[in-house]
C-alpha cells in the first residue's frame, strides 16, 4: 500500500497580518480614486477603510487615507504601483511611524429611560457626546483610536445597536514634515 506523505499547512489569514495605513496625495481629477482602488483589487487586497478629503489650502489636491491588511511584500508592490499612477503625487505606508491618528463613529442605540444612566456613564468614560436623543434611542458620537471605538461599541452592543457609521482612520505624521 503506497501512502503519500502528508503535510499540514496553516492557511494564511488576513487577521495574521498587521493593519497598514497608507496616505496617498493625489491631484483632484476624475477617476483617480478608481485607479488607486483597482491597483489594490488586482493584487487581491481588500481595503478596510478609505477616507478622501480635499486639501483646504490647495484645492488642486486631495489626500486618501487607506487602511488594509495583507502580505507586506505585496503591499510594498502595491504602493510602488500606486505611486507611479498619473495624478498620484506620492504614496506612503505609515506603519511603524510616529503618527497621530483618529477616527469618528456615530452609534444609534436603543435606550429606555431606565438604561440611560448606564449608557450615559459609559459615554462619559469614553468622552462620547450625545448628538441626538429621542424617547427610545440615543445617537452617540465618539472619536479616538480605532481600538477605543471598538471597545466602546462592544460595551454598547447589549443595549441594542440600531445603526453604526464609522469614518475610517485619518492620520498625520508627527513633526514638521508634511504627511
**DSSP SS3 for 179:** coil
pTM: 0.80
The dihedrals phi and psi of 106, each to the nearest 5 degrees, come to: -110, 130
Share of the chain above pLDDT 90, in %: 77
Residue 37 has pLDDT above 70, yes or no: yes
Same fold, 14-93 and 99-172: yes
User: For the chain, which residues make up each domain, given as ranges?
Assistant: 14-93, 99-172
Which class in CATH covers the domain with range 14-93? alpha beta
Nearest alpha-carbon partner for 123 in 108, 96, 99, 142: 142
Q: Which three cell numbers stand for residue 80?
A: 510602488
Q: pLDDT tens digits, residue range 78-104?
A: 999 999 999 999 999 998 899 999 999
Domain 99-172, CATH number (from 2.20.25.240, 3.30.1490.20, 3.30.70.380, 3.30.70.1150): 3.30.70.1150
pLDDT at 56: 84
Q: What is the CA radius of gyration of the chain?
A: 21
pLDDT at 157: 97
CB atoms near residue 156 (< 10 Å): 24
pLDDT at 15: 57
pLDDT at 42: 93
pLDDT at 3: 45
**In a 10 Å sphere around its CB, with 0-12 CB exposed, 13-18 middle and 19+ buried, how is residue 166 labelled?**
middle
Amino acid at each position: 500500500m503506497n501512502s503519500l506523505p502528508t503535510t499540514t499547512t496553516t492557511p494564511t489569514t488576513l487577521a495574521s497580518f498587521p493593519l497598514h495605513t497608507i496616505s496617498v496625495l493625489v491631484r483632484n481629477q476624475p477617476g483617480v480614486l478608481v485607479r488607486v482602488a483597482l491597483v489594490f483589487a488586482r493584487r487581491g487586497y481588500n481595503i478596510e477603510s478609505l477616507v478622501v478629503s480635499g486639501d483646504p489650502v490647495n484645492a488642486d489636491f486631495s489626500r486618501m487615507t487607506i487602511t488594509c491588511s495583507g502580505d507586506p511584500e505585496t503591499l510594498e508592490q502595491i504602493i510602488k504601483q500606486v505611486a507611479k499612477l498619473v495624478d498620484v503625487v506620492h504614496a506612503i505606508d505609515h506603519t511603524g511611524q510616529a503618527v497621530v491618528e483618529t477616527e469618528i463613529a456615530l452609534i444609534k442605540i436603543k435606550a429606555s429611560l431606565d438604561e440611560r444612566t448606564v449608557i450615559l456613564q459609559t459615554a462619559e468614560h469614553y468622552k462620547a457626546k450625545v448628538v441626538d436623543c429621542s424617547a427610545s434611542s440615543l445617537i452617540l458620537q465618539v472619536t479616538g483610536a480605532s481600538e477605543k471605538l471598538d471597545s466602546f461599541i462592544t460595551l454598547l452592543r447589549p443595549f441594542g445597536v440600531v445603526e453604526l457609521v464609522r469614518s475610517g482612520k485619518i492620520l498625520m505624521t508627527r513633526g514638521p514634515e508634511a504627511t
